[in-house]
Amino acid sequence: MVKLFNLSKSYGRDLHALRDLTLSVPKGDFVYITGPSGAGKSTLLRLLFAAEVPTRGQILIGGQNLGRLGNRQIALMRRKIGVVFQDFKLINSRTIYENVAFPLEVQGKKRYEVSNKVYQVLKHVGLEHKLKRFPKELSGGEQQRIAIARALVIEPQLLIADEPTGNLDPEVTLEIMELFKSANARGTTVLLATHDRQMIQRFPRRIVSLEAGRLSADTES
């Protein structure tokens, strides 16, 4: 599903966020990306959905080389990738329903199809009763679940999440993890950046460790 070849990303001349990273993630895999703060986890994820371009190296997603895609093709590729952003990136002027419907709306899906899917996925994350609320009226954990619902509503082939449990209490963390697990169980490849050791121990999966932008360990558990 995801293949990286000698991937490097530098900011300016001396700041090397990623160095010569080569990695392969098969379809249906569940991978933790770990490492201390500043190791390059977020940078790697941003490269994967083409929010940034690598300084060197290649990225293949589903066999497509990101470097060769034009703007339109990048847009179409993003429709297969669900992203859960560290800061959620919910639209505050839109309701929960509208936020979750947004990726489908952008694809020009029909109204009844949109409402069906949005309702289902909101039910899946347990927030179907809040669909008329606005993001700011929800707790952090609820907002996180909405962000996940928006990523899942397109039934993505690849799910990318950056520290999805970062500032949530342990109880909520469990609920969130269940959502990722069930998505993975339905065939979605999951890439999850975290430095939460506890969580990794609870749900052991493949662990890719980064240190100062380099691959320091890749362990299957």
Partner 1 sequence: MLRKTFYFLLRAVRNMWQSPMLTSASIVTVTVALAVLAFFAVLVQNISDVTRHWSEEVQVVVYLASKPDAAERNADIQKLRADPAVVSVAYISPEQARNSFRQRLGADEDLIKGMPSDFLPASYELHLSEEMRSETGVKQLVERLRQQPRYRDLRYGQEWLERYGAIISLLRVGGFIMGGFLLFAALFIVANTIRLTLYARREELEVMTLVGATPWFVRAPFLLEGGLQGFVGGLFALLVTFGLYHLALRSQLATLFMASGVGQIHFLPAAYQVYLLLTGTFLGLFGSLVSLRRFVRISP
Ligand X SMILES: Nc1ncnc2c1ncn2[C@@H]1O[C@H](COP(=O)(O)OP(=O)(O)O)[C@@H](O)[C@H]1O
Q: Does 217 bind partner 1 (CB under 8 A)?
A: no
# residues contacting partner 1 (CB under 8 A):
27
Q: Please say whether the beta carbons of 157 and 108 come within 8 A.
A: no
- Nearest CA to 194 out of 171, 177, 182 is that of 177
Contacting range for Mg ion; rule: CB under 5 A; set: 34-42, 62-70, 91-99, 213-221: 34-42
- Closer residue to Mg ion, CB minimum distance, 42 or 189: 42
43 interface partner picked from Mg ion, ligand X, partner 1, none, CB below 5 to 8 A per type: ligand X
52 membership: H or E segment, kind and range: none
Task: Figure out which of the listed residues 56, 76, 120, 169 binds partner 1, where binding follows CB under 8 A.
Answer: 76
15 interface partner picked from partner 1, Mg ion, ligand X, none, CB below 5 to 8 A per type: ligand X
Q: Does 102 bind partner 1 (CB under 8 A)?
A: yes
- Closer residue to Mg ion, CB minimum distance, 131 or 161: 161
Lookup: tokens for 176: 């969130």
- What does the per-residue mask of binding to Mg ion show for 39-68, with x meaning CB under 5 A? ---x--------------------------
Q: Does 107 bind partner 1 (CB under 8 A)?
A: yes
Contacting range for partner 1; rule: CB under 8 A; set: 36-44, 102-110, 115-123, 200-208: 102-110
Contacting range for partner 1; rule: CB under 8 A; set: 12-20, 54-62, 67-75, 172-180: 67-75
Cα dihedral sign, 59-60-64-65? positive
| Alpha-carbon span 176 to 165, nearest angstrom | 7
Q: Does 75 bind partner 1 (CB under 8 A)?
A: yes
With vertex at residue 141, the alpha carbon angle to CA 200 and CA 124, rounded to the nearest 5 degrees, is 85
With vertex at residue 120, the alpha carbon angle to CA 95 and CA 175, rounded to the nearest 5 degrees, is 85
Please name the residues in contact with 163: beta carbons below 8 A apart, sequence gap of 6 or more: 41, 86, 193, 194, 195, 196
Q: DSSP letter for 67, please.
A: G
Please name the residues in contact with 217: beta carbons below 8 A apart, sequence gap of 6 or more: 207, 208, 209
Residue entry with tokens 């430095």: 195
**Given the rule CB under 5 A, which residues bind Mg ion?**
42
**Given the rule CB under 8 A, which residues bind partner 1?**
49-53, 71-72, 74-79, 83, 89-94, 102-103, 106-108, 150, 154
